Amino acid sequence: MSTRTRISGHRKYLAFALAVVFILFGWQVAAWTLPAFLMPDVPTVIARLWQDIQTDNFRAALGGSLGRLAVGYGFAMLFGVGFGLIGAVLFFFREVLKSAIIILQSIPSIAWVPLFLILMGFGNTPIIVVVAVAAFFPAALSVMNATESVQHVHVSAARVMGASRWEMLKRVYLPAVMPELITGAQLAFGNAWRALISCEMLVGFGKGLGRSLSYAGETADMVGVMTNILAIAILAPLIDQLLLEKLKHRVLRYQYV
């Protein structure tokens, strides 16, 4: 890794740390201004979060949320990347799918919940489906947009050499769209995470961070509300930086030398 890359990485972490400090400072100022029962201060919430982490209820809520996220996000990436690549070799299919996505992605993820609840009943399934729908759109769009920029000379050369459609997808389009695919995966994760928490709050089924947040609000437990918000805010960047960003550097390591 070059010196320039290391300096850029250090600046990125410094900027992230400063953003965290700024947010916590703003929170603390609000706590000083408002009564404690309306806005608990930062040390109180951090202490509560540390206590909750050691309880079985918190671990069950965390496990429930991460399990639903993994299944929904996994299906979204599988179908999003798959359909996006199919659109590379089937022009009409790509145009139809892109038009459908442009129309459907304007609908907020939470708006799908009543429909899927009626169709599938209470349980994990409607939440997982909503998460998958929310993450599918950016994943598929990023791949389809990237396939449009693949150089025609590479496509023509592969066809002249007798490559089948499967070989075209595997050897021409997939390597070319990899940078946009990883970026789309990160955007899809953000959509999936927000959809997950919203659905858990609305559906109120089983264990989950969204359900815990909703229950704290219903019981006017402001410390619990802020604790769950803090946990949600910490988990999303952790997953993004520890998993997706690491994967990005590994897959695209030639860009970071």
Q: Which residues of the chain have pLDDT under 50?
A: 1, 153, 254-257
Where do the structural domains in the chain lie, given as residue ranges?
A: 34-255
Stated pTM of the model? 0.80
Give the pLDDT of residue 46: 92
Quote the pLDDT of residue 130.
Answer: 93
Q: Where does 34-255 sit in CATH, by number? A: 1.10.3720.10
Q: What is the pLDDT of residue 145?
A: 79
Question: What string of DSSP letters covers 8-63?
Answer: HHHHHHHHHHHHHHHHHHHHHHHHHHS-TTTS--HHHHHHHHHHHHTSHHHHHHHH
Q: What is the pLDDT of residue 160?
A: 52
Inter-residue contact 198 to 126 (CB < 8 Å): no
The token pair at 80 is 């999003």
The predicted structure's pLDDT at residue 174: 67
First to last CA, the chain: 5
Check residue 163 and give its pLDDT: 60
DSSP label at 111?
G
